[in-house]
Amino acid sequence: QCKYFTKATDLAKWIIEKKIKVGSVVVDATVGNGHDTFYLAEKVGKEGKVYGFDIQDSALLNTKKRLVNNNVFDRVELIKDSHEKLDAYVKEKVDLVIFNLGYLPGGDHSIVTKPESTIKAIEKSLLALKKYGILLVVAYYGHKGGKEEKEKVENYLRNLDQKQFNVLKFDFINQINNPPILFGVEKKG
């Protein structure tokens, strides 16, 4: 067992913990079962705002239930649309955007995030970030099409202008079974 270098999602939480405060504005670009949406909603408090995107009704319904049951739905806007249309809904600058690529756990494994829309959405997310804003992308890539998506996203992020962004990649390089990778981008001041 490890205590700190456990998995990409835990590393993402560390960063969220450090970055997000009461009053922050954040986007969960892939709501799924709402684990991140809920975590973020607690962190931003009543004064903050969480925008959550998903294309599946079941994901949004389960998430809404989770948020209502925990009394944090008041600061969340759930949007049934593709994250590539982020700019149509998010009109303010944001502190953080998170993506979890892949399929909905427990759902239809054939509905997955796709490279083209993911990259468009990442592009729009970077524009929406405030100075020192952070983009997190947790890339699961064991499924069909996942490796191609991960590679395209990595290639896109690798080519971001270093005058504008610092980009990093957390990859568990000694593990089998394609554990998820965390990409992180910080917009420079």
Binding residues for ligand SAM, total number by CB under 6 A: 20
Least separation in angstroms between residue 72's CB and ligand SAM is 15
With CB under 6 A as the contact rule, the residue among 7, 13, 19, 35 that binds ligand SAM is: 35
With CB under 6 A as the contact rule, the residue among 12, 59, 72, 134 that binds ligand SAM is: 59
In 3-state terms, what secondary structure has residue 176? coil
Least separation in angstroms between residue 67's CB and ligand SAM is 12
How would you label 18-52 residue by residue, b for 16+ Cβ within 10 Å and e otherwise? ebbeeebbbbbbbbbbbbbbbbbbbbbeeebbbbb
Candidates 131, 106, 117, 36; CA nearest to 81 is 117
With CB under 6 A as the contact rule, the residue among 55, 119, 126, 160 that binds ligand SAM is: 55
Under the binding rule (CB under 6 A), the answer on residue 32 touching ligand SAM is: yes
- Name the one range near ligand SAM by CB under 6 A: 44-52, 109-117, 144-152, 164-172: 109-117
How is residue 91 annotated by DSSP? -
How many other C-beta atoms can be found within 10 angstroms of the C-beta atom of residue 111? 15
Under the binding rule (CB under 6 A), the answer on residue 12 touching ligand SAM is: no
